[in-house]
Amino acid sequence: MSRFLKLKSLVPYTPGEQPRSTDRLIKLNTNESPFPPGPEVIKALNAGAVSMLRLYSDPTCAMLREAAADFYGISPDMVCAGNGSDELLALIFHGLTPNGAVFPDITYGFYPVFSDMFGVSAKEIPIREDFSIDVEDYRGEKGTVVIANPNAPTGLYLDEGKVRRLLEQDRDRLVVMDEAYIDFGGKSSVGLLGEYDNLIVVQTFSKSRQLAGERVAIAMSSPEIIADLNTLRFSFNPYNVDSLAILAGSAAMRDREYFEKCRLEIIRSREYTIEKLRELGFNVTDSLANFVFAAPPGMSGGEYMRALRQEGILVRHFDKAKTDAYVRISIGTFEDMQTLIEKTEKILKTARSDAF
């Protein structure tokens, strides 16, 4: 650390490992899509698009906002685009937390980092023994509530009734629904925007739209809140979404057929994985995300993660007390998940024979 750093105690977010080559690895550690971008995205990223890079990107991101607005049946002035949802969440933590931020103690690891980075007072609400979020625990809290729905890394989903209760507890308190994983079985809260002006829905193109490396995301909210987000965005980086990301994101939004095909395939592979892991004695949550959260029998989460690494499979382990027994396994292709199950059977067999 140099003597010039102002935020001396800042502990940065630790991203999952991004190996240079995934040739001999099955990468199930960062919840990316196992499928490539669709044909419409590939068509959009052509030589003509590259030649336009001499110009700045459209600071209004009109094409992308219109595509998202069409998809959800809302107006484009209810959409703001960002360089990944991490950026949109950063703007929200920075500028839309007049009374601090409130979020579960087990959730996306970036929320406490953003709080520290921007000097936002943060309150962590313990999740329940079964990893669920009880919205009643948020009653009376004044800070902006930030909930990943489904939550990470548990995969557990809050249904619409619970989201409504959260919104109704205090109409003057902002609720941010981070819907990074909503397309894998949940119902988006976008449909509630007409009724509640204290709601922001954030979605990423990194998971269900195959564009993690392109860095595209959207926030959807009332036109007033979107105007505020734009004030923040234009005070930081008006060209936050690059020209290729605008083209790729718009094409991904408009190609409903490819989106549906990929998301249904992930759901099928997730259900297969949950069933097989449970048969092998794992505790597995009822995840509605593109990952499963699973605790192996007879070994810790860390041991299982290391054993899988030896077998060429990357998964994620979070070494907090509450999550230590578990690993988070992203859903890859169906074949990836079959390999995961085979290797897991082998690991459990070896562990059992070592125990004798």
Total residues interacting with ligand PMP, rule: CB under 6 A: 12
First to last CA, the chain: 49
Site residues (CB under 6 A) for ligand PMP, limited to 86-105: 86
Residues 6+ apart with CB under 8 A from 296: 281, 282, 303, 304, 327, 344, 348
240 binds ligand PMP (CB under 6 A): no
- Distance in Å, CB of 212 to ligand PMP, minimum: 6
178 binds ligand PMP (CB under 6 A): yes
Sheet holding 283-284, edge to edge: 283-284, 291-295, 327-330
Q: Rounded to 5 degrees, what angle do the CA atoms 90, 12, 119 make? A: 50
Distances in Å between the alpha carbon of 204 and those of 32, 214, 224, 259, 346?
11, 11, 21, 13, 36
Residue closer to ligand PMP, measured from CB, 78 or 217: 217
Per-residue interface string for the shown chain with ligand PMP, residues 118-157, x marking contact by CB under 6 A: ------------------------------x---x-----
- Distance in Å, CB of 108 to ligand PMP, minimum: 4
As a whole number of angstroms, the distance between CA 233 and CA 135 comes to 30
Options 80-88, 126-134, 265-273, 334-342: segment touching ligand PMP (CB under 6 A): 80-88
Tokens standing for residue 257: 């057929």
Residue closer to ligand PMP, measured from CB, 84 or 104: 84
- Distance in Å, CB of 252 to ligand PMP, minimum: 13
204 binds ligand PMP (CB under 6 A): yes
User: Dihedral through CA 244, CA 247, CA 251, CA 253, nearest 10?
Assistant: 100
Options 66-74, 82-90, 249-257, 341-349: segment touching ligand PMP (CB under 6 A): 82-90
- Distance in Å, CB of 354 to ligand PMP, minimum: 35
108 binds ligand PMP (CB under 6 A): yes
As a whole number of angstroms, the distance between CA 322 and CA 184 comes to 25
Options 33-41, 84-92, 241-249, 264-272: segment touching ligand PMP (CB under 6 A): 84-92
Residue choice 189, 206, 290, 330 for contact with ligand PMP (CB under 6 A): 206
Nearest one of 167, 229, 224, 169 to 198, comparing CA atoms: 167
Residue 250 in contact with residue 44, Cβ under 8 Å?
Answer: yes
Residue 276 in contact with residue 251, Cβ under 8 Å?
Answer: no
- Binding positions for ligand PMP, rule: CB under 6 A: 84-86, 108, 148, 152, 178, 180, 204, 206, 212, 217
